[in-house]
Amino acid sequence: MSSHNNSSPAVNDPRQPSTANPYVAPMVRPEDLPVDYSGFIAVIFAIVGLMFRYKLCSWLAIIFCAQSLSNMRNFENDLKQISMAMMFAIMGLMTNYLGLGPTRPSTQDSLLRGVIQCPFWLNGKDPYISYGALRKISTCPS
């Protein structure tokens, strides 16, 4: 035997539809909204990826930009931050994959150009010595 009374479901229902109120979200000022951490992390990763040429950081910045875009609360401020992070991330990816930007010169590159840095006593007062003069001397003392 059951202890429930099965006479009618409407009589036994403790909820009262007449007293139910719809939920209204409280108004929050844009200054009081919580910080968008994914947007901030996207900016950090984008700048690191661009400055230090880390592909992984640029890709992570794109991912965090997408996450921040999907969770955007304050349209004006968040859109500015996301667009800045997205531009830095895209620039970082372009410099990494397309080879744009300054390159690091090596010693062989400077030899091929015909000028290397040598101590001033090898060539009088001129601190640079040409590749042909260097072949005559054959070594550059350090």
Terminal-residue alpha carbon distance, the chain: 102
Which tens digits make up the pLDDT trace of 122-141?
545 555 555 555 555 545 45
**DSSP annotation of 1:** -
93 has a pLDDT exceeding 70? yes
C-alpha distances in angstroms, 57 versus 86, 89, 107, 135, 139?
12, 8, 29, 44, 43
- Report the distance separating Cα 134 and Cα 118, nearest Å: 9
pLDDT score of 31: 79
- Report the distance separating Cα 54 and Cα 39, nearest Å: 19
120 has a pLDDT exceeding 60? no
- Report the distance separating Cα 51 and Cα 33, nearest Å: 31
User: In this predicted structure, which of 53-57, 77-81, 91-95, 104-108 has the lowest mean pLDDT?
Assistant: 104-108
The structure's pTM equals 0.55
pLDDT score of 11: 59
Nearest alpha-carbon partner for 39 in 5, 13, 7, 67: 67
What amino acid is encoded at 88 in this protein?
Answer: F
The DSSP-derived string for 90-117 is HHHHHHHHH--S-----HHHHHHHTEEE
116-130: b (≥16 Cβ within 10 Å) or e? bebeeeeeeeeeebe
- The pLDDT-based confidence of 117 (bands split at 50, 70, 90) is low
The arithmetic mean of pLDDT across residues 113-119, rounded, is 52
Average pLDDT, the chain: 75
